[in-house]
Amino acid sequence: MAVITFKGNPIHTFGSLPPVGSLCPDFRLTAADLSDKTLKDFAGKTKILNIVPSLDTGVCQASARRFNAEAAKRPDVVIINISADLPFAQKRFCDSEGLTNVVNLSTMRSPEFGNDFGVRIVDGPLAGLLSRAVLVVDASNRVRHAQQVPEIAQEPDYAAALAALG
C-alpha cells in the first residue's frame, strides 16, 4: 500500500507498483474501438504507461500532452495513457487536442488493473480511480522505471521516465 496525497490530504493505494527489474504484469484493457488490448499487443516495443485518474483533469491532460510531444521524437516508443475514463471520453480529449502519438486504454472492463499494478485508490474522494503513476517497460517487458507520483495534483517526473528509455 502506498500513501500518497490528494491536495495535501493522505490517501492510499492498493498494493505497490511493479518494482524496477521485474516483469510487467499483463493486462486486458479497452481501446477506443472497444477492442481488448493486452501487453502482447505492444510486443517488441518500449512502452511508457502513463497511468492517470482521469483525462478530464488538468494535470492528467498535461501529462498526456507532454508524453504525446515526447513520443513524436521517439518512434520506437509507444505511449499508453491508462485511466478509468470511458474510451469515448479518452478519444474525444485526444482528438480535440490533436494527440496522435498516444494509445488510450480504459479500465472500464478491467478494474483488476488497479490492484495488479498497485494504483487503485482505496480511500478519499478519488476512491476507485487510479493514482498517477508512470512505468517505463522495455521491449522484453521488464520494468525500467516506476514512479508513484506522491501528490495526485503533481505532474510526474518526465526527465526520469525519459532517461529510463536510454
Instruction: Please report the domains of the chain, with CATH numbers, ordered by start residue.
Output: 3-163 (3.40.30.10)
Active site residues: 60
Task: Determine how many CB atoms are found less than 10 A away from the CB of residue 82.
Answer: 25
C-beta of residue 22 within 8 angstroms of C-beta of residue 136: no
Amino acid at 50: N
CA 90 vs CA 2, 49, 120, 156: distances in Å: 26, 15, 19, 19
- pTM recorded for the entire structure: 0.94
Angle between helices 58-73 and 87-97 (to 10 degrees): 60
pLDDT above 80 for 60: no
> What is the predicted pLDDT for the residue at 105?
97
Question: Exposed, middle or buried by CB within 10 Å (0-12, 13-18, 19+), for 93?
Answer: buried
Give the model's pLDDT for residue 101.
86
